Chains A and B, each alone.
Chain A
Amino acid sequence: EPEVTQTPSHQVTQMGQEVILRCVPISNHLYFYWYRQILGQKVEFLVSFYNNEISEKSEIFDDQFSVERPDGSNFTLKIRSTKLEDSAMYFCASSRLQGAVSGYTFGSGTRLTVV
């Protein structure tokens, strides 16, 4: 069964450093999403991406964050100048059609620890 692949599975970074979290969505999916889950809290929506541009973003997704689809397969989340409160599990998901019509497939997540 097709999978959404996320790398790395765990990343530790110093506060103030930039990190790039990588995702390989399912190949025929067109819509891509990033979510985060701070330890012990709810999953939160960050951003959705379609046709090489952001289609929706939450209040959390400020200027510190950016997303990119640098080639035909990768979908990346960049966090500039990480803060301690950015420590969380970050999930990528993709869907073939806009969310209401087809289901989402989630990656297994990247656990980011900012020290």
Chain B
Amino acid sequence: KNEVEQSPQNLTAQEGEFITINCSYSVGISALHWLQQHPGGGIVSLFMLSSGKKKHGRLIATINIQEKHSSLHITASHPRDSAVYICAVNLVDDMRFGAGTRLTVKP
């Protein structure tokens, strides 16, 4: 069983739609990360969470430690949001990664 599961694997949306990407994990963690991987391969760290909710611009990330679940929301999606979004969890000095959610936002 994968320690980090993301859903959906692929997501296509129309510009302006509200998007939710989910992440569930099965291990005890100290923090959870949401990462964005661009088509060229580069990785950008969006959020690091250990509890509650964080917001940055149109992006919102939430985590429920008891339920071992996190969500990434994108409001008013735009074609430039098209990327792979990766959930990753911290295990002390180690990180485990989800397989990613490929988001395509169409104009």
Contact = CB atoms under 8 A, between A and B. Distances in A.
A60 to B, nearest CB: 12
Interface in B71-107: 86, 88, 90, 92-100
Chain B interface category by residue count: 20 to 34
A42 B93 contact: no
A33 B40 CA distance: 21
Chain A interface category by residue count: 20 to 34
Contacts of A50: 93
**Chain B, interface SS category:** strand
Contacts of B13: none
Contacts, number: 62
Given A48-B94, A56-B94, A58-B94, A104 B42 contact: no
Interface in B1-44: 30-31, 33, 35, 40-44
A45 B89 CA distance: 11
A22 interface: no
A100 B31 contact: yes
